């Protein structure tokens, strides 16, 4: 047991923390989610399924090697709240914890075995300053901890501060994101010949991931797989 986790357990004795999904008090050794909520997470198992519905979302749009999401996000589910808290309630630890769950699955999935780098979808610098962190990067950190694959955060960035994506049609969303990502000068060398895992929090229309993947494939000869925490159901 690491010193940091002993310290965390000690803190939990004084300030007990609760499950972010159901609100029950967490016991020693539990982080972010209680054992029951962790067990009941509606996993997709798409990482084991070639041609799964998440992969199909990208067909005819951008070539991806594999794509999957960890769990289904139904309307009003307690797991939907988790993602909202990750983004808007200053709870980056939710991203790391769920990223680790996703990473544990990917570590055992043959199709993801040759992934070499994990790249989180970048936020615009202005939005990241406002939020204090990039939620996709927190998820990517969790995946990296579970799989042992290194994180790469210096290759792609958002060059345009786009307005919020909600309440837009698929076409409007695409025109809103098509040119917002750009590669940094060292990206071509770093990415050449590599299999990249592109990471985001939620998959809805897929247009943000598509735009980022298109920018990366345009600028470097790499292969891209995609993993998100949740997929809308």
Give the nearer residue to Zn ion in terms of CB position, either 21 or 231.
21
Residue 20 CB, nearest approach to Zn ion (Å):
8
The answer to whether residue 98 forms part of the interface with Zn ion (CB under 5 A) is no
Least separation in angstroms between CB 127 and Zn ion = 30
Question: Could you give the CA distance from residue 153 to residue 172 in angstroms, rounded to a whole number?
Answer: 28
The one segment of 37-45, 85-93, 123-131, 153-161 that binds Zn ion by CB under 5 A: 37-45
Helix ranges, the chain (H) = 3-14, 35-40, 53-58, 78-88, 92-107, 125-131, 135-147, 170-177, 187-191, 207-219
**Closer to Zn ion by Cβ: residue 34 or 191:** 34
Residue environment code for 152-180, b if the CB has 16+ CB neighbours within 10 A, otherwise e: bbebbbbeeeeeeeeebeeeebbebbeeb
- Cβ at position 23, least distance to Zn ion in Å: 7
Q: How far apart are CA 232 and CA 76, in angstroms?
A: 11
- For position 22 contacting Zn ion by CB under 5 A, the verdict is yes
Smallest distance from Zn ion to CB 228, Å:
22
Sign of CA dihedral 103, 229, 46, 180: negative
Between residues 46 and 71, which has the closer beta carbon with respect to Zn ion?
71
Among 30, 31, 32, 37, binds Zn ion (CB under 5 A): 37
The residue written with tokens 């797991």 in the block is 79
Binding-site size for Zn ion (CB under 5 A) equals 5
Q: Among 30, 32, 34, 230, which residue interacts with Zn ion (rule: CB under 5 A)?
A: 34
Q: Is residue 21 close enough to count as binding Zn ion by CB under 5 A?
A: yes
Applying CB under 5 A, the residues found at the interface with Zn ion are 19, 21-22, 34, 37
């Amino acid at each position: 047991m690491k010193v940091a986790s002993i310290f965390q357990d000690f803190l939990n004795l004084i300030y007990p923390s609760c499950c972010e999904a159901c609100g029950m008090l967490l016991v020693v050794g539990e982080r972010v989610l209680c054992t029951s909520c962790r067990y009941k997470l509606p996993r997709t198992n798409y990482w084991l399924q070639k041609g799964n519905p998440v992969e199909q979302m990208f067909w005819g749009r951008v070539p991806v090697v594999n794509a999957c999401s960890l769990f289904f996000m139904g309307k009003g589910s307690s797991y939907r709240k988790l993602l909202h808290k990750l983004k808007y309630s200053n709870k980056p630890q939710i991203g790391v914890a769920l990223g680790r769950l996703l990473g544990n699955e990917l570590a055992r999935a043959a199709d993801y075995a040759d992934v070499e780098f994990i790249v989180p979808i970048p936020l615009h610098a202005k939005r990241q300053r406002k939020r204090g962190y990039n939620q996709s990067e927190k998820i990517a950190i969790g995946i990296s901890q579970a799989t042992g694959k290194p994180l790469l955060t210096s290759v792609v960035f958002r060059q345009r501060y786009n307005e919020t994506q909600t309440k837009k049609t698929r076409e409007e969303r695409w025109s809103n994101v098509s040119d917002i990502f750009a590669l940094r000068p060292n990206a071509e060398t770093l990415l050449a010949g590599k299999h990249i895992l592109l990471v985001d929090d939620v998959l809805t229309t897929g247009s943000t991931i598509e735009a980022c993947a298109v920018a990366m494939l345009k600028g470097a000869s790499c292969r891209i797989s995609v993993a998100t925490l949740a997929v809308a159901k």
